[in-house]
Amino acid sequence: MSAQIISGKEVAAAVKARIRNEVAELAERGREVGLATLLVGDDPASHIYVGYKHKDAESVGIKSIDISLPETATQEDVLGVIDELNSRPDVTGMIVQLPLPSGLNDEAAVERVLPTKDADGLHPFNLGRLLLGQPGPLPATPSGIMTMLDYYGIDVAGKIAVVVGRSFLVGRPMALMLGTKGTDATVIQAHSRTPDLPAICRQADILIAAVGRPGMFDATYVKPGAVVIDVGTNRTDDGLVGDVAFDEVSRVASAISPVPGGVGPMTRASLLTNTVRLASSD
């Protein structure tokens, strides 16, 4: 068996075409859409990722606002910039690039962003709305994964979904979104302390790997015919690789997302979606 490739690039292109039209419609109504990013420090991977975000924004007509602070920035410096961006009418969506440098508080920075400008969908207010099944900006990576599954016609209702990882960025909101009423997967949330993890993963019709360990998930973790979504983005001497041993698992799974070109483009597309929806809701 050769697995179908779930291309985040293909899905992101379709999402951006829709967003481009929505941004144009908002412009006709006199509403500018602006996405701001705050990057602290000199991490090369973060610089590359933020650059992709701005390129994506500009490609669909969204104003791009790029703010950088040095590695020596204090927590007060970070919060002050967030306050300034909160007050700017041309900023309709905002992202604090995580993780922040050592010594700075990620959670405090995320909570300082106004929920109505939360392009990442990570503010506690918006996560609470997700828990309650109420509308609001959704966490970007899990939202992107749901869009990918829908685009490729992968029905999750009644399926067993195993989410490996429990971060507030991906794992926990992913499990919520898969199990919500109307989506209706049966969700198992696994993690580093789950006994016999390969056996748990082999129960999955849909396996979401989000642990940050290159190549950890080999064929022994995958039920034949399962759908495998690889969230890992691990920089190695061989380049960017995922959490899944792609070549091996692609011979077992029915569908698999690659790294790169899988979840990453959809995370960025979801940020644009949130930004436009927040602009539309004003």
Do 62 and 23 form a contact (C-beta atoms < 8 A)? yes
Do 4 and 251 form a contact (C-beta atoms < 8 A)? no
Structure confidence at residue 129 (pLDDT): 95
pTM for this prediction: 0.94
User: Which residue type sits at 29?
Assistant: R
CATH of 30-114 given 3.30.930.10, 3.20.20.210, 3.40.50.720, 3.40.50.10860? 3.40.50.10860
Name beta bridge partners: 118. Answer: 94
Q: What is the mean pLDDT of residues 180-192?
A: 95
Matching CATH topology for 30-114 and 140-263?
yes
Q: Is the pLDDT of residue 278 over 70?
A: yes
pLDDT tens digits for 123-160? 999 999 999 999 999 999 999 999 999 999 999 999 99
Structure confidence at residue 237 (pLDDT): 85
Q: Where are the domains of the chain?
A: 30-114, 140-263
In the structure, what pLDDT confidence band is assigned to residue 104 with cuts at 50, 70 and 90? very high
pLDDT tens digits for 4-58? 999 999 999 999 999 999 999 999 999 999 999 999 999 888 888 899 999 999 9
The separation between the first and the last C-alpha atoms of the chain, rounded to the nearest angstrom, is 49
Structure confidence at residue 2 (pLDDT): 85
pLDDT tens digits for 198-238? 999 999 999 999 999 999 999 999 999 999 999 998 888 88
The angle formed by the CA atoms of residues 247, 248 and 251, to the nearest 5 degrees, is: 90
Tell me the C-alpha to C-alpha distance, in Å, between residue 92 and each of 15, 78, 250, 257.
19, 19, 40, 31
Structure confidence at residue 252 (pLDDT): 97
Return the number of other C-beta atoms located less than 10 Å from residue 99's C-beta. 13
Structure confidence at residue 62 (pLDDT): 97
Which residues participate in catalysis according to the annotation? 53, 97, 120
CATH architecture of 140-263: 3-Layer(aba) Sandwich (3.40)
pLDDT tens digits for 55-87? 999 999 999 999 999 999 999 999 999 999 999
Tokens of 241: 């690789």
Structure confidence at residue 282 (pLDDT): 57
Structure confidence at residue 1 (pLDDT): 58
Return the number of other C-beta atoms located less than 10 Å from residue 24's C-beta. 11
